[in-house]
Structure 1
């Protein structure tokens, strides 16, 4: 069983990125489990003085989840042409750890307009030594949709199939490493 952690870079209650990672978890192909990480808003601000024995439990939980997972999927909004602080903070907790080194990662997108954040996030994750899967980009345009519209879009057979295929491709990438 391939274990994948999915992270939304948004803290909004009606986040399209969170809806997308939840839909990925619900539509994971056979032989794969996608677990949504929901602790982004509980992470303390990264401070290198708090590493090692002083690592806060919330950060230790994230580090352990990433370490145990076979891969990581991230769906992240763009704020002011950049990666939201909460997402960057989560990555900062992984910087001096081995959790990210060689860990397969895939970015998925809920908006066609997040080009700056996509590039920045990919650069950050590559710098941290994540093994980026970039063969197939999954983008489901949800920006500006009301929650009921988002749910309807994510229930469409074509969208569910696209999600399964994207995750299946990522699982193949993980297995081929």
Structure 2
């Protein structure tokens, strides 16, 4: 089974993205082994010249390196990606942990268009590998996670693109 590290970009403990991740895990648990990274808040603010790399950052890098694939599931905050997610990615700029790494991007928000585009741009810059089949924009997420049959179908198609 391929191991997928799922990173929830939301800063909210009870977010729609959290519900969406649970729905995704439920749909894909017979095909993939999922691990949730829920410690974005533990990462200190990015420092381009740290005296020492913080343990929380080293742990994040290790989790990314050990995963076969990384899935980002995030809302859009003020037409951008959330600051905690951006911070984690900034810590990764001087590494190669995302170079050639197979990733998926799900942006689930009220609109999400600009945040979705931004995360794709950042991940291309970091050298990650993804295709249109590995990205999904879910606008109007409130009230859909866990109750919308069409969403189940979209998530199943998204997961099936990763089975190879």
Ranges in structure 1 where 5+ consecutive residues have no aligned partner: 173-177
* 8 Å CA contact 2:107, 2:115 repeated in 1: no
Which of 84, 87, 93 lines up with 2:85 in the alignment? 87
Q: CA deviation at 1:141?
A: 4.8
**1:15 aligned to 2:15?**
yes
Higher helix proportion (structure 1 or 2): 1
In terms of mean alpha carbon deviation, does 28-37 or 1-10 score higher?
Answer: 28-37
For the residue of structure 1 that corresponds to 2:152, the secondary structure is helix
Query: Which position in structure 1 is the counterpart of 2:74?
Result: 76
For the residue of structure 1 that corresponds to 2:91, the secondary structure is helix
Q: CA deviation at 1:18?
A: 1.9
For the residue of structure 1 that corresponds to 2:162, the secondary structure is helix
Superimposed CA distance per residue, residues 47-99 of structure 1 (whole angstroms, 9 cap, x where no aligned partner): 12227xx2211111110000011111112211221111111001111111121
Query: Which position in structure 1 is the counterpart of 2:133?
Result: 135
Ranges in structure 2 where 5+ consecutive residues have no aligned partner: none
* 8 Å CA contact 1:24, 1:34 repeated in 2: no
Query: Which position in structure 1 is the counterpart of 2:94?
Result: 96
Aligned-partner Cα distance in 2 for 1:100–1:137: 16
TM-score, with normalisation over the residues of structure 2?
0.88
* 8 Å CA contact 2:116, 2:137 repeated in 1: no
Superimposed CA distance per residue, residues 123-147 of structure 1 (whole angstroms, 9 cap, x where no aligned partner): 01100101123225434455333xx
Query: Which position in structure 1 is the counterpart of 2:163?
Result: 171
TM-score, with normalisation over the residues of structure 1?
0.82
After superposition, the Cα gap between the structure-2 partners of 1:29 and 1:169, relative to the gap in structure 1 and judged at 3 Å, is farther
Aligned-partner Cα distance in 1 for 2:38–2:16: 14
* 8 Å CA contact 2:105, 2:134 repeated in 1: no
In the TM superposition, structure 1's runs of 4+ consecutive aligned residues that sit over 4 Å from their partners are: 139-142
